[in-house]
Every structure is written in structure tokens, then in C-alpha cells.
């Protein structure tokens, strides 16, 4: 077995690999950029080596610096994590040439599967179902339009070396191809150093299913069930679960056998994932098609670990050390249900725009003592995989994922319920985040029914996200919590104020306005009366608490609480509610408060996120129409087209192409 492992990555995956390595008794080495000098993965490692400046191209993507760090520290193996160098054939080959074990597949397998065009040809030869499309190189936009027309709309344009949702565009018409083809090429070049694009038929009502494979260097290959990854935004996975609520045992076997056949055809070993697109309308069990093979560990690997009881990182390390798999296909058992939610630094209330900044508050839900349903373990549990800490910074240089929240339970419904309660107790301030949105997804009737497609988010939130709907009973409970908190704070204020001379009783009757309704709340001894009825609500609260734990209708309820000028902001179950709380005898004055009217900003084209203005398609004096593309802003390696909201004439342009933009910075103004 290896003595020392270098993890050629950062953030949560670096921490994840190190936890397993330490459990196996293997010493760990971290590498870092200047932006990560005090990051958790650096502090966790036994040794650490600086690579260079913050940009990945000057640090984490410098293969020669990583190999030098391995030699200087005496590391005998390198785990690449995912992203960065994990799927670079050249890096795996360089490790072998340096006499350092690469914890991953052989270079030839990475090369074969890393090219999406060539991998589809290999998959077809191996007897794997493939999506109809054009797999040759495409010279220019005009040729792309001809090919797309021949295939038939809708089509998907994909960068040949792409992944992680980058370098992908869906086209419903010739105009979409003309607008998106060059952008797809640029994203492929910027993210992967390869601007080749291929086009294939877009499967409507699609589900994204993937098969986890695991092989050793002795020809043994198994599949470890499937993962449902259909809930995506801009082709970036948001929610993953295992198993899939759609896949039958017969489909699982057919998918798994094709995934193993493909793996065997390229001499694969280590952990890998065969991604499939599945027609949600298919009832034969054969309507699945090969998308790509990821020759690395996947972000969503914890859900497979949860239902199989296997540590995939440990298996990768053992395979790299030359060990045989310790189990056969018949011994792979799937137990219970697991769901993973990706907590991102993005603001769903502003169109999911990326957010950067310092984590002024970071307190994830407490993870369960046991992390996998091994042996006789059958209790539901929570797992948090992260690589950040309070006070740390979410940088524009790297992926916006903050943490992964994983729950396991005997049933899908229980795993989803556990996600909701864990998200309620996830405290995160300082950057925009998608916690409310994730909770809303877990509660959505369509999610609960398992009726998923890759268009789920676009279909269910066509006008954006404005918070999860709250039942009247929940709003009433929040009114009671707000009144209780106001009473506790009023009581503390009077007790600490020595000038009063005597302790004054805080008001016992309050008027709480929340969610557009007013609630009369009476706090009598040992009871809480809301709208004339005794509420089944008990509360644990000390003035200053940011998280309130309550029991509502005999079920736990966690509420994040923040003080406002006239009351509190209460966040739970996927939405924030502002509660105005006043003693009942002065509440009548509240109706005279003046609301501010927001200014009209429709004349301005405003940067919705910090980023780089890569293209400007308008100048002063130009006439524009609604929906016309005016500018392209790149943020976190993704291009975003900014369009005119209304017709008009451009009065002035405030910035030039190539400029770095701040959020809400004015790009141009209409007359």
C-alpha cells in the first residue's frame, strides 16, 4: 500500500480524499494557490506545497509543478480529484513516467473517452446505444446550420472536450445555432483548450441517468447501480440521487452491462461513470443512449457510497496499488435511498447569478456519527462534504460550489424529508446561496412524485425563483415564533436596563404581519394562542440566536432568524418571510408606514454579476429591439448573453469590451 498521497485538487474533494487516506494510514500532501493558502484542505494535510497565483492556469493546472511537489515531498501516488487535471491523458502519462502512481484510469482509457466524438464511435462499436447525430468536425457556423437542419431540431451543440455543463448549447432553430455555435467553441477553448464542436439530436423529456463502474487492473469490472441526475440548471447538476425512481431492475441490468462492455473495450480500471440520456416517455426499458464517460470520480459519488456501503476513494487507491476488487457483481447490494444537494454560491432570487465574497457565517448542519449504512446500520443520516470554513472566501477563480449535503434513509420520501430539515438548519451568510431553492425542490410535488426531466427547473420555474410556497399553517407558526422572539428580547432589554428601577413585564399580546396577513398572538403562561386558537408549538430561543429550534405539530422545525428594524426575517422550508412585530396596543400606527418605490432601471443594461465583458454588440446611436443581444459577460468560465429589455436607442456606452465588471455596473444606457 502507498505511504504518501498528494491530492492534486482543492476544496471539498481534496478534503474528501484526505479523510479516506488518513483512515487508511496514508500520509497526505496538499497543493495550493495563493487564494487557498489558509484553506481547509491545506490545514488538513500533513504537508503542503504552494503552486502559484490564484488563477487555475497558473497553479492547479500546472502539471509540472504538481509532479515537482510530489517528488519533493516523497509522495508515491497522486489523486487528481475531479476537474483540473483529472481527465488529462498527458498528466496520467507524466505520472507514470515519473514513477508516481496515478489514482485513476490508464492514460489510453482517458484519451479514448475524453474526446466526445471518438468516444461515441467507440461506444457504438462496443454495442452501446448512441444518440443520433453528427460526429465529425464542424468547420464553421454555416456548416453547423446545415448539419442541425439535417438532424432536425431541437439539437444540442457540445464542445468535444467539454464537461460540467460548460461548452453546451441547446438550439431550437437556425437562429439559436447562429447565436450559439461560436460561443460553444469559445467556451470549449477557454475551459478545455479544444474548440471542436459536435451536434446531436436533443432527446425531448430526457432524464439524465449515469452508471457507476469500478474496475481493477486484473480485468474485473462491476457496475454499482445508477444515479438520477436529471435536475440540472444550464446543464450543471443540482440534485443527484441513487437509485433512480424511474429505473427498473431490468433497465439497471441493461444499462450496467453496456457500461461494463464499454469499460472493457477501452481497458478501463479505477472508478468511472458512464452517462446516459434516457427518454422519459420510453416504456420498453431500452430508450437510453450513451452521452459520455467520465474517467474520474464524480461530484455525486457520495450517493453511490451511501446505497452500496463502499468508499469509492478507498477503492480507487486500492486499485491503483494493484489490488483485486474484493467483491463480485453478484455481491453488490443497493440499500435504501440517498439524495445529494449541491450548495452553490449563487443567488436564485436574481436569476441564479454567481456570487462571490467572504463567508461571514458558515455553520452547516451537524453530520451524523455514522456516514454509511454498513452492516446493521439502518438509521437515516446526514453527511456534509465541504472545503470551506467561516471567514473563508468564495473566489471568482474557481467553481461556485460551497458544499454537498447528502442524506440517506430507508426510503426516498424519508431521505427528501431529511434534506428539508437539514437545509433549514444550514446557516450561510456573506454570499448569495441556493439553500432556499434546494429546499423548494425537495418539497415540490413533481419531485416527490419522481417525475423528473433535465428541463425540470426551466419548466417549473419559468419566471425565476421567488421562494417556496408556504402553507397557511406554517405562516401561522412563524408568526408565533416571531412574537415569542420579540417577547424574549423585550424581556431581556428591560432586565439589563438598570435605569428602569423595576422590571417591567414585556407585552404579552402582539400583532404580527407576515406574508400579507395579520396575526394576533397571545403569550399566556405555558401556552401560545394564535388567532384565538392554542397552537401546538414549543420554542427554544435565547435572544441573539440565529437559529431557532421549535416543535410544531409534534414535528421538528428549524428557523433561521435575523433582526430587522420592525421585527424579524424568518427563513425556513425554502423561503424567507419578513415579520413586522408590534405590541397590540400600538399596532395601529404600523399602517401609516411609508413604503419606498424602487427606481425604474429599465433604461440601463446592467451587469447582473461580476465578470469579464468579452463582447459588446452595440454602440451609441444604435436602435435596438426587445430580446436583441447587446453584450456577452463571462463569469466562472460561462458566457452569459445580455439582451435588451425593451426597444429604444442607445444613448451612451459606459464600458469597453475586455473590461472587468462589478455586479450592477452600468454597461450602457438607452435614451
CATH code, domain carrying 194: 3.30.1490.20
Counted residue by residue, the chain has a size of 671
User: Is the domain of 178 the same as that of 224?
Assistant: no
Domain end, chosen from 82, 103, 124, is at 103
Lowest mean pLDDT among 442-451, 525-534, 625-634: 525-534
pLDDT band at 556 (very low <50, low <70, confident <90, very high): very high
User: Is the domain of 450 the same as that of 488?
Assistant: no
User: Is the domain of 173 the same as that of 300?
Assistant: no
Domain end, chosen from 592, 627, 662, is at 592
Whether 150 is in a domain gets the answer yes
List pLDDT tens digits, range 280-302.
Answer: 766 565 689 998 999 999 999 99
pLDDT reported for residue 611: 83
| Partner residues linked to 343 by β-bridges | 403
List pLDDT tens digits, range 486-535.
Answer: 988 887 766 655 444 444 456 789 999 999 999 999 987 778 888 888 88
Residue 605: all three cell numbers together: 443594461
Count of domains in the chain? 5
Whether 108 is in a domain gets the answer no
Whether 451 is in a domain gets the answer yes
User: Is the domain of 541 the same as that of 646?
Assistant: no
pLDDT reported for residue 506: 61
User: Is the domain of 502 the same as that of 555?
Assistant: yes
Domain with 59, as residue range(s), is 4-103
Domain CATH for 298 = 3.30.470.20
pLDDT reported for residue 502: 42
Whether 115 is in a domain gets the answer no
Whether 643 is in a domain gets the answer yes
The answer to whether residues 594 and 600 touch, using CB atoms and an 8 Å cutoff, is: no
User: Is the domain of 194 the same as that of 309?
Assistant: no
pLDDT, averaged across the chain? 90
User: Is the domain of 407 the same as that of 484?
Assistant: no
Q: How far apart are CA 259 and CA 223, in angstroms?
A: 7
User: Is the domain of 434 the same as that of 333?
Assistant: yes
Q: Which residues are catalytic?
A: 292
User: Helix, strand or coil for residue 512?
Assistant: strand
Lowest mean pLDDT among 12-26, 41-55, 387-401, 413-427: 387-401
User: Is the domain of 500 the same as that of 436?
Assistant: no
Q: Give the closest residue to 606 by CA, choosing from 555, 643, 656.
A: 643
Q: How far is CA 398 from CA 16, 394, 438, 637, in A?
A: 17, 8, 21, 9
Q: How far apart are CA 597 and CA 107, in angstroms?
A: 61
Whether 126 is in a domain gets the answer no
Domain end, chosen from 201, 216, 246, is at 201
Whether 121 is in a domain gets the answer no
Q: How far apart are CA 626 and CA 667, in angstroms?
A: 17
Comparing 193 with 8, the larger pLDDT belongs to: 8
Residue 559 has pLDDT above 90, yes or no: yes
Q: Give the closest residue to 212 by CA, choosing from 161, 163, 276.
A: 276
User: Is the domain of 197 the same as that of 210?
Assistant: no
Sheet strand arrangement including 575-583: 533-534, 527-530, 517-524, 509-514, 575-583, 567-572, 555-563, 547-552, 537-540
CA atoms within 13 A on the CB side of 340: 31
Domain CATH for 495 = 3.30.700.30
User: Is the domain of 453 the same as that of 497?
Assistant: no
Which long-range CB contacts under 8 A does 524-528 form with residues at least 24 apart? 528/480, 528/483, 528/484
Lowest mean pLDDT among 144-148, 571-575, 582-586: 582-586
pLDDT reported for residue 661: 87
User: Is the domain of 483 the same as that of 582?
Assistant: yes
Whether 358 is in a domain gets the answer yes
The answer to whether residues 402 and 345 touch, using CB atoms and an 8 Å cutoff, is: yes
Amino acid at each position: 500500500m502507498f505511504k504518501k498521497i498528494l491530492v492534486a485538487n482543492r476544496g471539498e474533494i481534496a478534503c474528501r480524499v484526505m479523510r479516506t487516506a488518513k483512515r487508511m494510514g496514508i500520509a497526505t500532501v496538499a497543493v495550493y494557490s495563493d487564494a487557498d493558502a489558509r484553506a481547509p484542505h491545506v490545514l488538513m494535510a500533513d504537508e503542503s506545497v504552494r503552486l502559484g497565483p490564484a488563477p487555475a492556469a497558473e497553479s492547479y493546472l500546472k502539471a509540472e509543478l504538481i509532479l515537482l511537489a510530489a517528488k519533493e515531498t516523497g509522495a508515491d501516488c497522486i489523486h487528481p480529484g475531479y476537474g483540473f487535471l483529472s481527465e488529462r491523458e498527458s498528466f496520467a502519462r507524466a505520472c507514470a513516467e515519473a514513477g508516481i502512481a496515478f489514482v485513476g484510469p490508464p492514460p489510453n482509457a482517458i484519451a479514448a473517452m475524453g474526446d466526445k466524438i471518438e468516444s461515441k464511435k467507440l461506444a457504438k462499436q462496443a454495442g452501446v446505444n448512441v444518440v443520433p447525430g453528427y460526429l465529425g468536425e464542424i468547420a464553421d457556423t454555416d456548416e453547423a446550420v446545415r448539419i442541425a437542419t439535417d438532424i432536425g431540431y431541437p439539437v444540442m451543440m457540445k464542445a468535444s472536450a467539454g464537461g460540467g455543463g460548460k461548452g453546451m448549447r441547446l438550439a431550437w432553430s437556425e437562429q439559436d445555432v447562429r447565436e450559439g455555435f461560436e460561443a460553444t467553441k469559445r467556451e470549449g477553448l477557454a475551459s478545455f483548450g479544444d474548440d471542436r464542436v459536435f451536434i446531436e439530436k436533443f432527446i425531448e423529456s430526457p432524464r439524465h441517468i449515469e452508471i457507476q463502474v469500478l474496475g481493477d487492473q486484473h480485468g474485473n469490472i462491476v457496475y454499482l447501480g445508477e444515479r438520477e441526475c436529471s435536475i440540472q440548471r444550464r446543464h450543471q447538476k443540482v440534485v443527484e440521487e441513487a437509485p433512480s425512481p424511474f429505473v427498473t431492475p431490468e433497465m439497471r441490468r441493461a444499462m450496467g452491462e453496456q457500461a461494463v462492455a464499454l469499460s472493457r473495450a477501452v481497458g478501463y480500471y479505477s472508478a468511472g461513470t458512464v452517462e446516459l440520456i434516457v427518454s422519459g416517455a420510453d416504456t420498453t426499458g431500452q430508450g437510453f443512449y450513451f452521452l459520455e464517460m467520465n474517467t474520474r470520480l464524480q461530484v455525486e459519488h457520495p450517493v453511490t457510497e451511501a446505497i452500496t456501503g463502499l468508499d469509492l476513494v478507498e477503492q480507487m487507491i486500492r486499485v491503483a496499488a494493484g489490488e483485486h476488487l474484493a467483491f463480485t457483481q453478484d455481491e453488490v447490494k443497493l440499500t435504501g435511498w440517498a439524495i445529494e444537494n449541491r450548495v452553490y454560491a449563487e443567488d436564485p432570487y436574481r436569476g441564479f447569478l454567481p456570487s462571490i465574497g467572504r463567508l461571514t457565517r458558515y455553520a452547516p448542519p451537524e453530520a451524523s456519527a455514522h456516514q454509511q449504512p454498513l452492516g446493521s446500520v439502518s438509521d437515516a443520516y446526514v453527511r456534509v462534504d465541504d472545503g470551506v470554513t467561516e471567514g473563508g472566501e468564495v473566489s471568482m477563480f474557481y467553481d461556485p460550489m460551497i458544499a454537498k449535503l447528502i442524506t440517506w434513509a430507508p426510503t426516498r420520501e424519508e431521505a427528501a424529508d431529511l434534506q428539508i430539515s437539514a437545509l433549514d438548519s444550514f446557516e450561510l451568510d456573506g454570499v448569495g446561496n441556493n439553500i432556499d431553492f434546494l429546499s423548494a425542490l425537495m418539497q415540490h410535488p413533481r419531485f416527490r412524485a419522481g417525475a423528473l426531466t433535465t428541463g425540470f427547473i426551466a419548466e417549473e420555474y419559468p419566471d425565476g425563483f421567488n421562494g417556496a410556497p408556504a402553507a397557511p399553517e406554517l405562516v401561522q407558526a412563524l408568526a408565533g415564533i416571531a412574537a415569542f422572539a420579540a417577547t424574549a428580547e423585550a424581556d431581556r432589554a428591560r432586565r439589563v436596563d438598570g435605569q428602569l428601577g423595576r422590571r417591567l413585564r414585556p407585552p404579552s399580546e402582539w400583532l404580527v404581519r407576515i406574508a400579507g396577513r395579520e396575526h394576533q398572538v397571545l403569550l399566556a403562561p405555558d401556552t401560545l394562542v394564535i388567532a384565538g386558537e392554542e397552537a401546538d408549538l414549543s420554542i427554544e430561543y435565547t435572544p441573539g440566536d440565529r437559529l431557532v429550534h421549535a416543535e410544531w405539530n409534534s414535528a421538528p422545525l428549524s428557523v433561521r432568524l435575523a433582526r430587522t428594524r420592525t421585527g424579524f426575517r424568518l427563513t425556513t422550508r425554502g423561503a424567507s418571510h419578513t415579520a413586522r412585530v408590534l405590541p397590540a396596543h400600538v399596532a395601529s400606527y404600523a399602517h401609516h408606514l411609508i413604503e419606498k418605490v424602487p427606481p425604474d432601471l429599465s433604461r440601463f443594461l446592467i451587469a447582473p454579476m461580476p465578470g469579464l465583458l468579452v463582447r459588446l454588440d452595440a454602440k451609441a446611436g444604435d436602435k435596438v429591439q426587445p430580446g436583441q443581444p447587446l453584450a456577452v459577460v463571462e463569469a466562472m468560465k460561462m458566457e452569459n448573453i445580455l439582451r435588451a429589455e425593451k426597444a429604444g436607442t442607445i444613448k451612451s456606452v459606459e464600458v469597453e469590451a475586455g473590461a472587468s465588471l462589478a455586479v450592477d455596473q452600468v454597461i450602457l444606457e438607452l435614451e
